[in-house]
Amino acid sequence: MLFNKPIIVSFMLIITGAILWIGNKNYTGGSKNISKITYQDAIFIGLAQAVAIIPGISRSGLTVFAGLYRNLDREFAAKYSFILSIPIILGATIFKVRELLSWNINFYNLILSGLVASISSYGAMKVFIRLLKNRKLYFFSYYLWILSIFTIWITLSKGY
């Protein structure tokens, strides 16, 4: 499949970096919050989330960008993006639970890893919101561009 090729994913990382860069520079965010968001805003942000099914495109980055584009408050755009991830995570969990039950897994380790993932996700969300509020998303852009150059180099040198 086209999107499973590492070179394509690498180029999508470049695009994600550009989206974050443009969003950080050009969209300061507006004043829309939970009481002012419209159905059109929700549909636009939801469509952005659907586009993020492409490997290498950041779901949270694209939905925050879409929120800023629709004049959402910067912090609200980030929180809205993270709330949007809940149905996806729950859906994936439900979809995979049958397969998971067939594995020989220590459920204590599974619960512990879920707890660690939840705590680290919460911490990442806090850092992301702080960077977003301070208009410093370009740090993620640099990271993604360096990562993509590295992965393109590795991919081409390995002949993928």
80 has a pLDDT exceeding 70? yes
Give the pLDDT band (50/70/90) at residue 14.
Answer: very high
Domain interval for residue 132: 2-158
Q: Find the range with the poorest average confidence among 68-77, 113-122, 128-137, 138-147.
A: 128-137
| Phi/psi at 110 (5° precision) | -65, -45
DSSP assignment of 76-106, as one string? HHHHHHHHHHHHHHHHHHHHHHHHHHHS---
Sequence-distant (6+) residues with CB within 8 A of 9 are 3, 55, 56, 151
Total of domains in the chain: 1
Give the count of beta carbons closer than 10 Å to the beta carbon of residue 47: 13
Indicate if the pLDDT at residue 97 is higher than 90: no
